[in-house]
Amino acid sequence: MSKILVTQATLPEFDEYINEIEDIWQTKMLTNMGSKHNLLENELKKFLEISNIVLFTNGHQALELCLQSLCLEGEVITSPFTFISTTSAIVRSGLKPVFCDVNYEDCTIDTTKIEKLITNKTVALMPIHVYGNVCDVEKIEEIAKKYNLLVIYDSAHAFGVSYKGQTISNYGDINMYSFHATKVFNTIEGGALTFSDNKYHEKFTKIKNFGFNGQESVDLFGSNAKMNEFQAAMGLCNLKHIKENIKKRQLIVFRYRKKLKNVKNLRILKPQKDVESNYSYFPIFIDSKNFNRRDFLFNRLADNGIFTRKYFYPITSNYECFAQDDLSNNSTPIAEELSKEVLTLPLFPDLELNVVDKICDLIKNILDEVNG
Ligand SMILES: *Cc1c(COP(=O)(O)O)cnc(C)c1O
């Protein structure tokens, strides 16, 4: 088998992209909220069923500038079973991350543990829809109302996911989406903030463009995080194929589930009730308590040209950058355990089902060696 990576960027046909960018050679408009940028905003508003969207050069800038434009001070409750971006955005905005544990069943924030972590400094919740699994959005809304907290979802994994027939963009005050090359929908690099309340629109638009308020006025210190026209053009092309690509992902996930259903010491996540998934990731959890079967499997798969990823290991609170901080009140044993067990398997629309079968057979053979 040739080398298989955990993911592969989804690209439109070459000619389709060339057609989309051709008129840029007439307009000479490469960036600064050009026509492709504006068209993509409109198309995404329709697709995500949301009234407001602001596009960014990547998802991380969207998250970071979101926090900065709101001028928040204090603590943000989040979970550490995520990509470092979520935690970094909080810290780099001068806020303190407070780590809440996650559910063993779906890896999202454990809402029964949030209230204990709320103090008079808490200003916001930043839960993550990990692997596109939907957080307990109803409970989160209830807590946020009770304590008057802002809810900003890291929806980087959850593009196109709906819950009870409603887009997840409708939950929380603000959602951040990532359009990175490795995500379900990509604009090469890119990201967005979506929200229902119009009041955020001006803030987010200004902060991504140096704080400009018209040509001669700057009323806040902004950054530069605009999405350019080539990115937007890629998005316009990819959005046309998003449904068929999610469908292809679904077939792959169903195959993985079927083949890996009853394997000793291997756990797969159950589909969530009332959720229409985007099938963004396929994580498996390998019991590693007495012996590190997860790392054994990871290495042996790599020897065979199958490159899986440990999403997410380590948990973000265990990174060296936190070495100076006292995180003793931030114990998250479930997140820690999950991070030692997890392996995300190759998943992208063009992955062939017979390759999925081979990967599954290989996993079973390797685990047989160490299951005893
Ligand atoms: C990808 C990702 C981000 C960051 O998005 P970029 O577009 O790569 O900057 C943030 N959070 C999570 C959970 C992600 O997976």
pLDDT above 90 for 108: yes
What's the 23 CA to ligand 1 centre distance in angstroms?
31
The CA-based diameter of the chain, rounded to the nearest angstrom, is 72
Q: Is the CB of 83 under 6 A from ligand 1?
A: yes
Q: Is the CB of 85 under 6 A from ligand 1?
A: yes
What's the 176 CA to ligand 1 centre distance in angstroms?
9
Element (H, E) at 357: helix 353-371
Mean pLDDT across 175-185: 98
Query: What does the block give as tokens for 3?
Result: 């080398």
Q: Is the CB of 157 under 6 A from ligand 1?
A: yes
Q: Is the CB of 154 under 6 A from ligand 1?
A: yes
Average pLDDT score over the chain: 96
pLDDT tens-digit profile of 8-29? Answer: 999 999 999 999 999 999 999 9
Q: Is the CB of 78 under 6 A from ligand 1?
A: no
pLDDT tens-digit profile of 61-75? Answer: 999 999 999 999 999
Share of residues in the chain with pLDDT > 70 (%): 99
pLDDT tens-digit profile of 41-51? Answer: 999 999 999 99
pTM, entire model: 0.97
Q: Whose CA is closest to atom 7 on ligand 1?
A: 59
- Which of 88, 135, 154, 310 should be mutated for ligand 1, with most atoms under 8 A from CB? 154
Q: Is the CB of 186 under 6 A from ligand 1?
A: no
Q: Is the CB of 233 under 6 A from ligand 1?
A: no
What's the 202 CA to ligand 1 centre distance in angstroms?
23
What's the 132 CA to ligand 1 centre distance in angstroms?
12
Mean pLDDT across 204-233: 96
**What pLDDT does residue 189 have?**
98
What's the 63 CA to ligand 1 centre distance in angstroms?
9
Lowest mean pLDDT among 77-86, 238-247, 256-265, 319-328: 319-328
Mean pLDDT across 318-347: 92
Q: Is the CB of 188 under 6 A from ligand 1?
A: no
**What pLDDT does residue 80 have?**
97
Atom of ligand 1 nearest to the CA of 178: 7
**What pLDDT does residue 371 have?**
83
What's the 59 CA to ligand 1 centre distance in angstroms?
5
pLDDT tens-digit profile of 254-281? Answer: 999 999 999 999 999 999 999 999 999 9
pLDDT above 90 for 372: no
Give whole-number Cα distances, 307 to 95, 182, 185, 297, in Å.
36, 14, 21, 11
- Which of 56, 83, 310 should be mutated for ligand 1, with most atoms under 8 A from CB? 83
Q: Is the CB of 103 under 6 A from ligand 1?
A: no
pLDDT above 80 for 1: no
pLDDT above 70 for 330: yes
Q: Is the CB of 180 under 6 A from ligand 1?
A: yes
pLDDT above 90 for 325: no
Query: Residue 131's closest CA among 357, 306, 301, 345?
Result: 345
Judging by DSSP bridges, how do beta strands 162-163 and 275-276 pair with one another? antiparallel
What's the 339 CA to ligand 1 centre distance in angstroms?
18
Q: Is the CB of 59 under 6 A from ligand 1?
A: yes
Q: Could you identify the residue written with the tokens 């997140």?
A: 335
What's the 46 CA to ligand 1 centre distance in angstroms?
22
- Output b/e per residue, 114-150; b: 16+ Cβ within 10 A: beebbeeebbbbbbbbbbbbbbbbeebeebbeeeebb
Q: Give the Cα separation of 29 and 228 in Å (integer).
A: 9
**What pLDDT does residue 329 have?**
76
